[in-house]
Structure 1
Amino acid sequence: MTPRPLGPATAAALAAMLLLGTASTVSAQPAHDRGDTPLRALADRQDLRIGTAVDMNALADDEQYRTIAAREFSSVTAENVMKWEAVEPQQGVNDFTQADALVDFAHRNKQAVRGHTLVWHNQLPAWLTAGVADGSIDATELRRILHDHITTTVKHFKGKIYQWDVVNEIFDDNAQLRDSIWLQQLGPSYIADAFRWAHAADPGAKLFLNDYNTEGVNAKSTAYYELAKELRAQGVPVQGMGIQGHLDIQYGFPGDVQDNLERFSALGMQTAFTEVDVRMDLPADDAKLTRQADDYRRLVQACLNVRRCTSFTVWGYTDKYSWIPGVFTGQGAANLFDEVFAVKPAYTTVRDTLAAREH
């Protein structure tokens, strides 16, 4: 996903918002003024955290966005501002300003925070990729840099992050370990190292694998299952499987989602839906929105049916700020709220599914 960095004016607005305490709190009236019980209250009755990824530009500039984010969700994830290129733009120089602003917003609104992400093949700082490419950063140095990044970042947020996506998208679409700089330079041992280092930095945070196209039982999710089983047998603190949940209605719904969750649970792991959205070809119509709502329902229901499924996070809650149109040409309308913050059938279906569930 392509980040949208804060400009100086936006960053100043965000700082002023937090300093003056103008960030919305859960007691604020929602701009859409439905008068219904918010999702977070319904999910809480099921011991489930329901979350959203947060766009920091929108958080700074859009009061309606802040209000609904605070009212509806009990967990937030940084869409981009905890990724490596954001927190260490120059080697050895850390900048947690934007990430700290999100954590502060969450604290004000009694929300938990998911950390995303420590090790990924994308959105790496330019100094790192350039150094590996020109040979000035060799394998020994790269391992030290990775250790320091994980340790510094996790320690900075110690006690403030309840789940970390430690390694993100480490398998390719053929269910093989991705040919990233990490695998090329360090070999597969970097995966176990990352979990051990993160656990040492904050033993209280739950540590997750995370990837897309792992919703059902398939070659890719099975590769993760076998990896998790192997690592846990070695004592590596792999504690959760994050299933992103980026769906497209044209491809149908993977029918064995619950079976997939249950096999990770049988290993003693938590599971979580971490980046859910359900895109469609535009323009949206009633039939497409109905199919979308059913996909959301089936994901939520699968999570509710599995005791160790502990959180359900959407990758942005409004089409106004969705990443989908910028990446998937001609597609969009993937979220629970539309571009003007009106609830969609998907929102209503998620709400009703949470409300109907017997605890």
Structure 2
Amino acid sequence: MRTPARRTRIRAAGAAVSAALLLGLAATPAAHAGTADETGKTDQARPTETLGKLAKKSGRYFGAAVDNPELADTAYADLLGREFNATTPGNGMKWYATEPQRGVFDFTAGDEIVDFARANGLKVRGHTLLWHSQLPDWLTSGTWTADELRSILKNHITNEVKHYKGKVFAWDVANEIMNEDGTYRENIFYKTIGPGYVADALRWAHAADPKVKLYLNDYNVEAIGPKSDAYYQLIKQLRADRVPIDGFGMQAHLALQYGFPDRMPQNVRRFADLGVDVAITELDIRMILPADAAKLAEQADWYRQVTEACLAVRRCVGITVWGYSDAHSWIPAVFPGEGAALPWDENLHHKPAYAAIRAALQQAH
């Protein structure tokens, strides 16, 4: 199993992640995507069926997150539109971007990605309505009563969900609300309102768009353990209370040095057995640099295992990689000395991981 204490650095470094994603990285030269062998070399032959098309054959999607600056990298954006059938805005729909002043909404960044997705036949996962990080200063610096904060939260969720009604198929409503030991994270909402804010957020989102799928989303929940157990019990209780909850998102920011998640296939299945969808929402698999053939082969095997864990459960509806090329990965900025986390390299060449994902998707038919 992974080491939870080290893995929590993923979101503890939220400010650094934000900076890396907002600034973007340098655009890479255009390159044809080829098929990789076990050495990581590419033959430059373009497959006739994309990952998105292969996933669709089994009734699923295979998507990639994107941040607005990355759309300026033409080769990168073109490949995103061609290879995938879903996308998630990395930052453009978060609270700091969409409500920079109280009651003043700005959907410019999110709209740009939605427009790109529509033009390229991609569907969109909304991310995220409620998170402890990347909140606007006016919200975090204020002193609010429980009633005031509930009103602010309801207004934010209602306005954003209504704006994107019919434009996104799912929302990460509440993101990263649990600690590693399965207790609630003491964010501004929990401390001011109490644990009921989660059910409230789901109800308000459903009222604003009754057709959109509503998710809870977190990292370090791919294995069976205290954190995923807490979500299992929470979702079970929410369903018993008839609170609208449609899915559970497993981010899957994994790292070779911590081992593959314990009993991931069984964990995916037990959430599906609750009667909710499961999605792999932010997949990347980092390693300690430099990369070599052995690490890339292990990484490829992990990508295969994650893909197969999803494909084995009908209610696992899709997989999203958090970006898809090392050229725009958030990992190096947050984990110095680590990286090479994605199925394409900095030059948009396939790595062995791509072939492993592709093979797993093909075998599902």
TM-score by length of 2: 0.89
| Match in the other structure for 1:357 | 364
d(CA) in 2 for partners of 1:31 and 1:353? 19
Count of matched residue positions in the alignment of Structure 1 and Structure 2: 333
Measure how far apart 1:301 and its partner are: 0.1
Q: Which aligned pairs between 1:327-346 and structure 2 lie closer than 5 A?
A: 327-346=334-353
d(CA) in 2 for partners of 1:149 and 1:215? 30
d(CA) in 1 for partners of 2:363 and 2:22? 40
Contact in 2 for aligned 1:53/1:79 (Cα 8 Å): yes
Measure how far apart 1:100 and its partner are: 0.4
| Match in the other structure for 1:241 | 248
d(CA) in 1 for partners of 2:237 and 2:145? 28
| Match in the other structure for 1:99 | 110
| Match in the other structure for 1:114 | 125
Equivalent position to 1:294, from 293, 296, 301: 301
The answer to whether residue 157 in structure 2 is matched with residue 145 in structure 1 is no
The answer to whether residue 141 in structure 2 is matched with residue 130 in structure 1 is yes
Letter of the 2:263 counterpart? D
d(CA) in 1 for partners of 2:108 and 2:67? 14
| Match in the other structure for 1:62 | 73
The answer to whether residue 286 in structure 2 is matched with residue 279 in structure 1 is yes
Letter of the 1:107 counterpart? R
d(CA) in 2 for partners of 1:289 and 1:91? 47
| Match in the other structure for 2:46 | 35
d(CA) in 2 for partners of 1:98 and 1:348? 33
Equivalent position to 2:189, from 161, 182, 187: 182
User: Following TM superposition, where does structure 1 have runs of at least 4 consecutive aligned residues deviating by more than 6 angstroms?
Assistant: none
Q: Which aligned pairs between 1:148-297 and structure 2 lie closer than 5 A?
A: 148-297=155-304
SS at match of 1:43: helix
Q: Which aligned pairs between 1:301-316 and structure 2 lie closer than 5 A?
A: 301-316=308-323
SS at match of 1:47: coil
| Match in the other structure for 1:79 | 90
d(CA) in 1 for partners of 2:353 and 2:300? 4
Contact in 1 for aligned 2:253/2:285 (Cα 8 Å): yes
Which deviations, in whole Å up to 9, do the C-alpha atoms of 1:167-218 show, x marking residues without a partner?
Answer: 0000011211001111100000000000000000011111001000110211
Contact in 2 for aligned 1:324/1:332 (Cα 8 Å): yes
SS at match of 1:215: coil
d(CA) in 1 for partners of 2:32 and 2:117? 17
| Match in the other structure for 1:24 | none
| Match in the other structure for 2:332 | 325
- The CA RMSD over aligned residues, in Å, is 1.5
SS at match of 2:18: coil
Compared CA separation, residues 279 and 47, structure 1 to 2 (3 A): same
SS at match of 1:106: helix
TM-score by length of 1: 0.90
The answer to whether residue 69 in structure 2 is matched with residue 44 in structure 1 is no
Letter of the 1:264 counterpart? F
d(CA) in 1 for partners of 2:183 and 2:299? 30
Measure how far apart 1:64 and its partner are: 0.5
Contact in 2 for aligned 1:30/1:67 (Cα 8 Å): no
Letter of the 2:85 counterpart? S
Which deviations, in whole Å up to 9, do the C-alpha atoms of 1:240-278 show, x marking residues without a partner?
Answer: 010000100011112411111111111110000000000
Which deviations, in whole Å up to 9, do the C-alpha atoms of 1:11-64 show, x marking residues without a partner?
Answer: xxxxxxxxxxxxxxxxxx9666632021111111111111111021011x2110
Contact in 2 for aligned 1:196/1:237 (Cα 8 Å): yes
SS at match of 1:3: helix
Contact in 1 for aligned 2:22/2:91 (Cα 8 Å): no
Measure how far apart 1:356 and its partner are: 1.7
> Which runs of 5 or more structure 1 residues have no equivalent in the other structure?
11-28
SS at match of 1:307: coil
d(CA) in 1 for partners of 2:237 and 2:148? 27
d(CA) in 1 for partners of 2:105 and 2:148? 18
d(CA) in 2 for partners of 1:354 and 1:345? 15
SS at match of 2:101: coil
Letter of the 1:77 counterpart? T
